[in-house]
Structure 1
Amino acid sequence: MGQTAAVSAVLWITAVSLAAWCWLLLCQGFFWRTDVRLPPRREPDEWPDVCVVVPARDEAAVLSASLPSLLAQDYPGRAEVFLVDDGSTDGTGELARELARRNGGLPLTVVSPGEPPEDWTGKLWALRCGMGLARARGPEYLLLTDADIAHAPDSLRELVAAARSGGFDVVSQMARLRVASRWERLVVPAFVYFFAQLYPFRRIGRAGSRTAAAAGGCVLLRAATARRARLPDSIRHAVIDDVALARAVKGAGGRVWLGLADRVDSVRPYPHLRDLWRMVSRSAYAQLRHNPLLLAGTVAGLALVYLAPPAAVAAGAATGSVAVPVLGALAWAVMAGTYVPMLRYYRQPLWLAPALPFTAFLYLLMTVDSAVQHYRGRGAAWKGRTYARPGTVPD
């Protein structure tokens, strides 16, 4: 009797997991598709002025692979680059000046804002400094891009054309992250997959949609909209600054577009699991607004959606049940099928698709660790700074 009740409970859990996957497949903005690229665009008759703002803290290891690509932008209008050296101790600012002297291209200004006030995150304080200097030039657009992002020569041109053609206040591309090490192959494509599941790209760009997100590595922002949304001051405490920025823009009546990039790439390596762990855990609990109930719901949801299907297959084999493993296998198949497009986008072997439950389990542990670090007072630690109680989005 007890075994029958247990099998019945597992059967119900597996059926709910399968139903959840059917809903995700059809009703969550087709998040699993990877064909959301720069929208249709045409070149403007007159190219607007653009200022590029690059916050950089201890980025000497990657700057040689990224900054020259910005300086070499083939942009028909006036553009210049502001690199904000945020208290680096590795010679980031000096290296940036040397790269500009050696490579030429767009004008480069290197500045340092000093230490951020207590209620500011370091990156947003650096952006405030760079955006303030840029606004003195009167640009129509600001390109906010991280120091580890390499751009194709026509990247700025394409972003501006897309913003002008579509009437967007933000055009953001999620840079293709590095996938070279074993752990990068296992974790990185799933990182983008989970992000798209939370913030379906198609919904973000839809007029009237409340879904808002951006990818902080590459954000083209209309300067007038930034002023209207009081950016970055209105999100100065945000750890997940790209989502906060997009929500602030939509809150000010602006339009946002986000998609995958073809030739905008992150050059930052994450060779070991501990590197990827820090990348995820530093902001995972902030995403949950530091709410224990949201944490518990997230853990339960990850277990139900990602871990229940393979567990059902194993349980069915152990108990001799037929329905349980069949439902579990169906849910697992749908899960793996939705992951295949992202693996293809990252040019990774498709056998990683059925391994997604293991990767999801790693993310579950990273999320729990993020909460543990928060309650230990370590909060979101990044490059020598700790934000014990950061906000995530504007109220």
Structure 2
Amino acid sequence: MWTALGSLAAWLWLLLGQGFFWRTDVRLPAGREPGPREWPAVCVVVPARDEASVLGESLPSLLAQDYPGRAEVFLVDDGSSDGTGELARELGRRVGGLPLTVDSPGEPPDGWTGKLWAVRHGIALARARAPEYLLLTDADIAHAPDSLRRLVAAARTGGFDVVSQMARLRVESLWERLVVPAFVYFFAQLYPFRWIGRRGGRTAAAAGGCVLLRAEAAERARIPDAIRHAVIDDVALARAVKGGGGHIWLGLAERVDSVRPYPRLHDLWRMVSRSAYAQLRHNPLVLAGTVAGLALVYLVPPVALVAGLWWGGATTAAAGGGAWLVMAATYAPMLRYYRQPLWLAPLLPFTAFLYLLMTVDSAVQHYRGRGAAWKGRTYARPDALPEEG
């Protein structure tokens, strides 16, 4: 009974005291922003490793940006083995649009993740064009034609050093429907979007698929050198910029979409487990606390409801049912954002249990020496890296 009451109290606090994380209205303004009188120069940096399967959908959308100022695209091929660089050059010739440069930095040195090494190379190439803004976007992200215009208008109007949008992930297969909306829901619970935009607040996060970054702020925060070993690089970037006095914004996207499919549970499992233990700073005590917290908040409510009804514990059943109801109600807006049926909302405890298992598996893989593995590379924990010379 007391555990069920504790779970209900936790959900009431999450409902009202966690920055209204469950609301999905933190987005860029609808329609065309007036924008500045003179549109600043922007360089788009796209790190890409073995992305030939999705590049045909994403890269043309960047080259076709309807941007009034000067803009160009730098795609950095991070040691691909599937012809990503050659395909990018072919698309550039065939599609036209914004100028495209395709280059490769070679293998990353010790202490660097491959993506951030590619980003560093792309920023170095872009610096010769003296842009005011850098758009860091992943190779699996497709942008609407006005995406860059809206990002720059929002940055200029709001005085932001970072404007980031959480790209709408693909939701087509059964497992995508169960896992993907919950992924964004959990992220917003950890990093409430309203808190991120506060000046002087400590909460900082970004979504790596779409980050507009003021070049001056990047230099001031030493991006990406200061975060060169970060597996969760988007959150690390936001913290570095905000720690240096920058103003950041993060919201849900309307017309920025991930085209990468995750048709099987195995694909989604790898996406989550590769970085889950890094999020917990590779700390066993934090892992234990996280598992206990997930169990209390997400698993106790349905168990308490069933147990209370079975053994006649009215208070236990009422507390469990109330917590489950609040949980489902806070999840419903995210399901609507992803255009999914609301009957999925009561299944959130099952999805949370999957995430609990993914998190534990992430720790197991870490201690087996296979943690933070992605596309043929395995990254060491930061305290195992050599000191910078």
TM-score range relative to shorter protein: over 0.9
- In structure 1, distance between residues paired with 2:306 and 2:107: 54
State how far apart, in whole Å, the 2-side matches of 1:38 and 1:215 are.
14
Q: 1:296 aligns with which of 288, 302, 310?
A: 288
* Residue 29 of structure 1 pairs with residue 29 of structure 2: no
2:6 is aligned, of 11, 16, 31, to 16
Alignment match, 1:4:
none
| Distance in structure 2 (CA, Å) of the matches to 1:234 and 1:390 | 12
Normalised by the length of structure 1, the TM-score is 0.96
**Which residue is equivalent to 1:351?**
343
Deviations 1:315-337 (A, max 9, x none): 11221211111110000000000
Return the offset for 1:39. 5.2
Q: CA deviation at 1:366?
A: 0.2
Q: Does 1:84 align with 2:105?
A: no
Alpha-carbon distance between aligned partners in 2 of 1:39 and 1:142, rounded to the nearest angstrom: 21
Q: Which residue is 2:171 aligned to? A: 179
Deviations 1:330-381 (A, max 9, x none): 0000000000000000000100000000000000000000000000111100
Looking at structure 1, the residues matched to 352 and 306 of structure 2 have their Cα atoms a distance apart, in angstroms, of 18
Q: 1:116 aligns with which of 93, 101, 108?
A: 108
Q: 2:317 matched to which residue of 1?
A: 325
Percent identity at matched positions?
82
Match of 2:332 among 319, 328, 340: 340
Letter paired with 1:322: A
Once the two structures are overlaid, the 10-residue window that deviates more, 36-45 or 198-207, is 36-45
Separation in 2, partners of 1:207, 1:228: 18
Q: How many angstroms apart in 1 are the aligned matches of 2:171 and 2:377?
A: 27
Alpha-carbon distance, 1:138 to partner: 0.2
> Paired residue for 1:310?
302
Counterpart residue type for residue 120 of structure 2: R
Structure 2 gaps of 5+ residues are 384-389
User: Aligned partners of 1:280 and 1:159: how far apart in 2?
Assistant: 28
Distance 2:172 2:313 in 1: 41
1:389 is the counterpart of 2:378: no
CA distance in 2, matches of 1:130, 1:123: 10
Q: Is the 8 A contact 1:42 1:162 kept in 2?
A: no
SS of equivalent to 2:97: coil
The whole-number CA distance in structure 2 between the counterparts of 1:388 and 1:231 is: 20
What is aligned with 1:254?
246
Q: Whole-Å Cα distance in 2 between the matches of residues 247 and 321 of structure 1?
A: 46
Letter in 1 for 2:58: S
1:126-275 → structure 2 map (5 Å cutoff): 126-275=118-267
What do the CA deviations read for 1:202-244 (whole angstroms, capped 9, x no partner)?
A: 0000111110000000000000000000000000000000000
Q: Are the equivalent residues in 2 in contact too, given 1:176–1:264 (CA < 8 A)?
A: yes
2:359 is the alignment partner of 1:367:
yes
SS at 1:263's partner residue? strand
Q: Does 1:277 align with 2:269?
A: yes
The structural deviation recorded for 1:390 is: 4.3
2:117 corresponds to: 125
SS at match of 1:114: coil
Distance in 2 between residues matched to 1:179 and 1:167, nearest whole Å: 33
Distance (Å, rounded) in 2 between the aligned partners of 1:170 and 1:211? 14
The match for 2:37 is 45
In structure 1, what is the equivalent of residue 64 of structure 2? 72
Matches of 1:388 and 1:245 in 2, distance apart? 19
- Equivalent AA in structure 2 for residue 24 of structure 1: L
Q: CA deviation at 1:196?
A: 0.1
Q: 2:188 aligns to what SS in structure 1?
A: helix
Q: Deviations over 1:135-187 (max 9, x none)?
A: 11100000000000000000000000000000000000000000000000000
Aligned-partner SS, 1:52: strand
For 1:256 and 1:170, the matched residues in 2 are separated by 5
Partners of 1:178 and 1:209 in 2: CA distance: 32
Residues 217 and 14 of structure 1: CA distance in aligned 2, closer, same or farther (over 3 Å): same
1:73, 1:155 within 8 Å by CA — same for their partners in 2?
A: yes
Equivalent-residue separation in structure 2 for 1:225 and 1:33 (angstroms): 29
User: In the alignment, is the contact (CA less than 8 A) between 1:75 and 1:156 conserved in 2?
Assistant: yes
Q: Which runs of 4+ in 1 moved over 6 A?
A: none
> Aligned pairs, how many?
381
